[in-house]
Amino acid sequence: MVKVGVLGLQGAVREHVRAVEASGAEAYVIKWPEELKEMDGLIIPGGESTTMRKLIDKYHFMPELKQFATEGKPIFGTCAGLILLAKEVVGYEEPHIGVMDVRVERNSFGRQRESFEADLDINGVAEDFSAVFIRAPHIVEAGENVEVLAKHNGRIVAAREGQFLGCSFHPELTEDHRLTQFFVKMVAETKEKTTV
Ligand code: GLN
């Protein structure tokens, strides 16, 4: 069974743990950077990206997170987690972890629509995925190796670039675990490739 860590600094950590376990992998809440070494994949939850970045710096996570990405291990960023993964964030000079070739904009769906649900067609995952958006970002621009997986109102809300998966919404807040299953499969395939 593959081991999937859930970055446990902020956000819906427990819900992600449940989704990972329901998807047939072992889930671990990651509280310290050195715990990452044992993991085959990592989920960065939603929350508030600037707060999470402060906690990443406070607990000295940044070098280990970058190392995890350099090793080719899969990372799934949901909502604020997607913002943390992006190489560019609109309005900011520097990215956070800055590994996924996308430009994201924060709080893209307007203040009056702070949270809402929408049915998405996620390529290769589900045609009828009920997605929960909470002060969600969207992908403004995606690099040439990025596969767009879903759009909402013409805006990119889910994408994959090789080892990286990102989505604007909260897949852990419903009982539909198909996107988490998709990630767990990415983790299993990557592990298989690197151990043979
Ligand atoms: N708006 C938040 C941010 O910019 C993300 C919201 C979320 O993760 N639900 O970090």
Lowest mean pLDDT among 6-10, 97-101, 192-196: 192-196
Lowest-confidence segment of 29-43, 102-116, 182-196 by average pLDDT: 102-116
For residue 103, the CA-to-ligand 1 centroid distance in Å is: 15
- How many folded domains does the chain comprise? 1
> What's the confidence (pLDDT) of residue 39?
98
Q: Could you tell me the residue range of the domain that residue 57 belongs to?
A: 3-195
**Position in ligand 1 atom list of the atom nearest CA 80:** 8
Output the pLDDT for position 109: 85
pLDDT at site 13: 97
Average pLDDT score over residue span 95-101: 98
Q: Per-residue confidence at 22, pLDDT binned at 50, 70, 90?
A: very high
Taking only the tens place, the pLDDT of each residue in 122-137 is 999 999 999 999 999 9
Q: Is 49 in the pocket of ligand 1 (CB under 6 A)?
A: yes
Nearest C-alpha neighbor of 99 from the set 62, 134, 126: 62
Beta bridge partners of 142: 102
Residue 196 has a pLDDT of: 63
| pLDDT given for residue 112 in this prediction | 54
Q: Give me the DSSP letters along the chain.
A: --EEEEE-SSSSHHHHHHHHHHTTSEEEEE-SGGGGGG-SEEEE--S-HHHHHHHHHHTT-HHHHHHHHHTT--EEEETHHHHHHEEEETT-SS-SS--EEEEEESSTT-GGGSEEEEEEEETTTEEEEEEEEES--EEEEE-TTPEEEEEETTEEEEEEETTEEEESS-GGGSS--HHHHHHHHHHHHHHHHHH-
For residue 190, what pLDDT band results from cuts at 50, 70 and 90?
very high
- Residue 115 annotated as lining a ligand binding site: no
If one residue of 52, 107, 173 were mutated to test the ligand 1 pocket, choosing by the most ligand atoms within 8 A of its CB, it would be: 107
The full length of the chain comes to 196
- Mean pLDDT over 21-25 rounds to 98
Is there a binding annotation on residue 18? no
User: Exposure string (b/e) for 107-139, b if CB count within 10 Å is 16 or more?
Assistant: ebbeeeeeeeebebebeebbeebebbbbbbbbb
How many other C-beta atoms are found inside a 10 Å radius of the C-beta of residue 19?
A: 28
Q: Which residue lies with its CA nearest to atom 2 of ligand 1?
A: 48
- Tell me the CB-side half-sphere exposure of residue 113, using CA atoms within 13 A: 11
Give pLDDT, residue 114.
Answer: 83
pLDDT above 90: percentage of residues in the chain: 94
- Nearest atom (ligand 1) to Cα of 81: 8
The CA 47 to ligand 1 mean position distance, Å, reads: 5
User: For the domain that residue 140 is a member of, what is the CATH number?
Assistant: 3.40.50.880
83 is an annotated ligand-binding site residue:
no
State the closest ligand 1 atom to the C-alpha of 11, by its place in the atom list counted from 1. 8
53 within ligand 1 shell (Cβ under 6 A) = no
Give the pTM: 0.97
